[in-house]
A and B are shown apart, each in its own frame.
Chain A
Amino acid sequence: MDPDFPSARGAPIAKVDALSFEYPGSRALDAVSFEIARGSVTALVGPNGAGKTTLLRCLAGLAVPLAGAISVAGVDVLEEPREAHRRLGYLSDFYGLYDALTVRQCLAWAAQAQGVPASSVQAAVERTAGRLGLADRLPQPAGALSRGLRQRLAIGQAIIHGPELLLLDEPAAGLDPEARHALAGLFRTLRGEGMSLLVSSHILAELDEYSTHMLVIRDGRLVEHRALEREAPGEAAARRLRLRLAAPDASLAARLAGREGVSVLEAGEDAALVAFAGSERAQAALLSALVGEGLAVASFAEARENLHESYLRTVGHAGEGGP
């Protein structure tokens, strides 16, 4: 990535401000505002028709919103869409490839079209093909590739210029489990290299593997945008721990209450969920104390809420709040 980009390292990679998009009689996006942190992988989730694809197309400069502002890496997408395209990559849900071109030609064309200098095109092609496991497919026509490999090639075309932000609309649709796993690994690698990703998908289990943030939209409105628990700033201070007993104990809640750093969230006779503010050493000491008091502890481990649970909790709250 170009270190001379005006955006500072700590600044958000994308800013969306009061974005609205309308179809006749319906508002696909209604004053949506959010920021995407650099180096994050944001899961864009919501029911069908929520406005996810419209949002991604607006971010990519492919659709003109009715109102609002969008910037990617400090570039105003609506004012300078061509410049913004140098900073972002986009994989649409129904992507196309030039089937008659070879993999090498597809990648070389994408690199040149995205402004990679002619002297660097060859290296960019080799690097991207290697990263995506397409190095031995370079002479093959794109039309001869399997669906999984076509998906990789399409992603290769989107990232060959080293974008700072990668937008992906249902990237795993139609892929077999093995290809999905490989895709998740690729996204983790890209994030590790400093790229930020915004991924729309219906397959929440797959998003859960690599997402750091969740952005929920429903009926064109932003319902929630937050860091997922494992990434939350207060992680070290408060973790959710689940305690399970091999034998029920009616005094479990009372035994947990009042201990230093422990807040009981849920408690029954044979299990409890607590928020624990302390180090792993303190956690070990707590476990030791509980066992020492005669509790038959079967397990005492971190209770991570997965993306699916988090999404359902979020939309559940949104539903309770009414439209």
Chain B
Amino acid sequence: MNPELRRNLWLELGWHRRIAAPAVLLLVFGLVGANADPGEDWRAAVHPVALVIAIASLFLWGTREAAAAVVDEVRSRTWDLQRLSALGPWDMTWGKLVGATVFPWYVGGLCLAVVAFTAPAVHWGSRSGWMILAIVAGAVALHGAGLASSLLAARRHEAAAGRPGAMGMVVLLLFALWSVSVPGEKGLHVPVEWYGRLFDRMGFVASTALAFAAWGALGAYRAMCRELQVRTLPWAWPAFGIFVAAWAAGFAHGQTLGPGRAFVAGGLLATLGLTYVALFGDATTFSSVRLVFTRAAAGQWRRALEELPLWPSTLLAAAVFAAAAPFAFADVSFAIEGLRWPYVERVAAHAPLALVLMAARDCAILCFFAFSARPRRVEAATVLYLVLLDWVIPGLLGAVGLSALAGWVLPFDTLDGPRAAIVMAVQAGLAAWLAAWRFRRGVHPRP
């Protein structure tokens, strides 16, 4: 048996818990069934309760446990012991993915069994198989994201940083599932149109959850590789952005925008979004960047790529999408009707290069703080300056009637695409110069 799984079984699934959990669930379901309305099948009363407990156990509790899996080890000083083991990254990943969440899986599994058993009593019971699959796959996706965020937090030596990241993933997945759902039980029978083809709604949700589960497990594995010093090339993070864009673009079929343009705009936004997630979630330190430059200077380009932080890969992918945007949107008026997020997508279509340069500026600002001799609260300082640059200063200038000047700070509303790009290029260049200056100060003079 996987040693990491066995260790977690020892810790998390003692005989007391193995007995207590089904006993408590039996009591709850018994009470609910006994209090069913007269004439109502008790199974119909128990079914939604079991469903809610399963989702809460697997999505919330399980994700919380996965997000704590590594940061708790760091806190109790056992993480180095784990990193010293001879287990490979995949063994360590699945051992933790299943092991850390084994008790929520135990409780959730019992509830899902009850869901399956009581499904014939509800009139959408024929869909329960897809639903159970979607819940299981969604849980794996979230647990993978939780473990990955926990590993990133460990790299940053922040014992509590994994949980907010994982909870963010919970919100993201729930939002994704909500976006393809239709309210009401009848909605479950309404098919989904994706790239012009109709799919069974629950089957589509389950398939989507399965795809995200694969990405979640891959993300956790890749993060584990980095922690265990097993080097990998940085392709997975931008590939995930491209996947999200391609998935979302399928829904644009038949709309004004169309899948092609939606893919370009969505890809730009997704890769930029992931750039910011990586910027604030991953560790960008003087030492990590110094390693990259040292490897590059020695002509070890593969090693340099392997040592890269996560954010440059998605920033580069965003630049590729930005380069494609003028071609994709060449014949499109910016007064497009029927867009879901008109402002964001208009900006993506109107000033893609400026958006990428703004992200590059923000990365450089974070680097400037991270390259300090004693970096403290790097992310908080960066957020403060971004709020000043993107909100406070333009707002103040606008309030005193200097809207034209405000456009030179945040140009998206007032300047055309090329001029917005020039403004952002100047800002990004200045921030990069400052970051480079501080980096050079940190480089020890000895060869």
Contact = CB atoms under 8 A, between A and B. Distances in A.
Contact of A113 (B11, B76, B86, B291): B86
A90 B80 CA distance: 9
B442 interface: yes
B346 interface: no
What range describes how many residues of B lie at the interface? 35 or more
A100 B78 CA distance: 13
B444 A95 contact: no
Contacts, number: 98
A95 B81 contact: yes
A184 interface: no
Contacts of A89: 84
B7 interface: yes
A164 interface: no
B10 interface: yes
A98 B78 contact: yes
B230 A25 contact: no
A101 interface: yes
A62 B372 contact: no
A64 B229 contact: yes
Interface stretch (A78-86, A205-213, A293-301): A78-86
B87 interface: yes
B419 interface: no
A96 B77 CA distance: 5
Nearest to A94: B77
Given A25-B441, A82-B230, A109-B6, A64 B291 contact: yes
Interface string A63-89: 010110000000000100111011001
Instruction: Name the residue in A81, A82, A110, A115 with the highest tally of chain B Cβ atoms < 10 Å from its Cβ.
Output: A82
B255 interface: no
Nearest to A27: B444
B442 A95 contact: no
B290 A66 contact: yes
B332 to A, nearest CB: 47
Nearest to A24: B442
B294 A67 contact: yes
B444 A22 contact: yes
B294 A101 contact: no
Interface in A136-170: 157, 161
B310 to A, nearest CB: 16
Contacts of B443: 22
Contacts of A95: 77, 80-81
Interface in B308-350: none
A113 B294 contact: no
Instruction: Name the residue in B87, B88, B307, B375 with the highest tally of chain A Cβ atoms < 10 Å from its Cβ.
Output: B87
A63 B76 CA distance: 19
Given A81-B229, A81-B230, A82-B228, A112 B287 contact: no
Given A101-B10, A109-B6, A157-B81, A61 B229 contact: yes
Given A82-B228, A112-B3, A30 B446 contact: yes
Given A25-B441, A66-B290, A100 B85 contact: no
A86 B443 CA distance: 35
B80 A66 contact: no
A265 interface: no
B373 interface: yes
B291 A66 contact: yes
Contacts of A23: 286-287
Interface in B57-99: 73, 76-88
A96 B372 contact: no
A26 B286 CA distance: 11
A25 B84 contact: no
Contacts of A61: 84, 229
B100 to A, nearest CB: 13
B5 to A, nearest CB: 10
Contacts of A114: 85-86
B291 A27 contact: no
B85 A113 contact: yes
B282 interface: no
Given A24-B371, A112-B3, A86 B86 contact: yes
Contact of B444 (A26, A97, A109, A115): A26
A113 B446 contact: no
A109 B84 contact: no
A105 interface: yes
B4 interface: yes
B81 A81 contact: no
Given A22-B287, A23-B287, A85 B76 contact: no
Contacts of A161: 86
A42 interface: no
A113 B86 CA distance: 6
A25 B373 contact: yes
Contacts of B287: 22-24, 66
Contacts of B4: 113
Contact of A85 (B85, B290, B371): B85
A60 interface: yes
Interface string B1-36: 001101100110000000000000000000000000
Contacts of B372: 24
Contact of A62 (B80, B86, B307): B80
A92 interface: yes
B143 to A, nearest CB: 21
Interface string A88-124: 0110101111111100010001101111000000000
A269 to B, nearest CB: 50
B3 to A, nearest CB: 4
B76 A96 contact: yes
A198 to B, nearest CB: 15
Instruction: Name the residue in A94, A98, A105 with the highest tally of chain B Cβ atoms < 10 Å from its Cβ.
Output: A98
B11 A98 contact: yes
A45 B162 CA distance: 37
Contact of A101 (B11, B87, B229): B11
Nearest to B303: A78
Contacts of A105: 7, 10
CB-based closest 8 A-B pairs:
A96-B77, A113-B85, A112-B3, A24-B442, A96-B78, A115-B86, A24-B286, A81-B229
7 contacts: A25-B373, A25-B444, A27-B446, A82-B87, A85-B84, A95-B80, A110-B85
Given A25-B444, A83-B86, A96-B81, 16 more contacts: A24-B372, A24-B373, A24-B375, A25-B441, A61-B84, A66-B294, A81-B228, A82-B86, A82-B230, A92-B77, A96-B78, A110-B85, A113-B85, A114-B86, A157-B81, A161-B86
